Each structure stands twice: as C-alpha cells, then as structure tokens.
Amino acid sequence: MAAKKACNECLSTVKPVRDALDVINGKWKLPIIISVTTGNERFTDIQESVPGITPKVLAKELKDLEQHRLIKRVVVEDYPVKILYKPEPYADTLSPIIYALKDWGVNHRKKIFEKE
C-alpha cells in the first residue's frame, strides 16, 4: 500500500498545483502582472517593461488576466481617452508565488554560471 499512500499524498498536491497553473501558465502572465503591480499602467509602458512581448500577445494576455479578475482595464474619459491597467486586489495573492519563483530564478542563474 506504499504506492497508494504516495499516490494520495501526491494527488492532494498535484491537483491544486494544476489549478494554479491553469491560471498563470505560459511565458507572459506573471511578467505582465509583475509589471502592472510595480506601477506600469499604460499599454505601451507594459509592453516596454516586458522584454520581447509583441502587442498582439500583450493584448491577448491582458484580456485573459482581466477575465481571471487579476487586473482591470480602466477607461479614463479625458480628451484624449486614456486606458489604464490596474492590478485587482486578487493579484496580490500571487506574490508568494512570484517571490518563490524570483528567488529560485536568481539562484538558478548563479548555479548555471558557476558550473559553466
């Protein structure tokens, strides 16, 4: 029954991890959230702050993040109209994930450069 015990223990972690990955999966979602939560509000600013992203991809990812209630698109009725992207409070709940990934990434890069 060792296998079954491992299997249950494993599933209780695998399932929620997959739920999380379904939301933040991909190359761009977390970088965009980081950009927006550090104060970038305008489309062009976000685009410039996330190296390599194209406007097509950014537009699509912003829509996804809006649907998941992680950011909101705010239309400011000035002349000219301004569009701002703001983090929703729910985006803050991602910070443990972001910082865990950041720390690991910093260390990983060190490890790679040491070895080679």
Partner DNA sequence: TATTTCACTTTCCTTTAGGAAAGTACTATA
Partner DNA sequence: TATAGTACTTTCCTAAAGGAAAGTGAAATA
Binding residues for DNA (CB under 7 A): 25-28, 42-45, 52-57, 59, 62, 73, 79-83
Chosen from its own copies, DNA, none, partner binding at 1 (C-beta under 5 to 8 Å by type): none
Chosen from DNA, its own copies, none, partner binding at 86 (C-beta under 5 to 8 Å by type): none
Check: CB of residue 35 under 8 Å from CB of residue 70: no
User: Rule CB under 8 A: is residue 98 a binding residue for its own copies?
Assistant: yes
Only segment of 56-64, 72-80, 81-89, 96-104 that touches its own copies (CB under 8 A): 96-104
Say how far apart CA 56 and CA 91 lie, in whole Å.
Answer: 22
Q: What are phi and psi of 32, to 5 degrees?
A: -65, -40
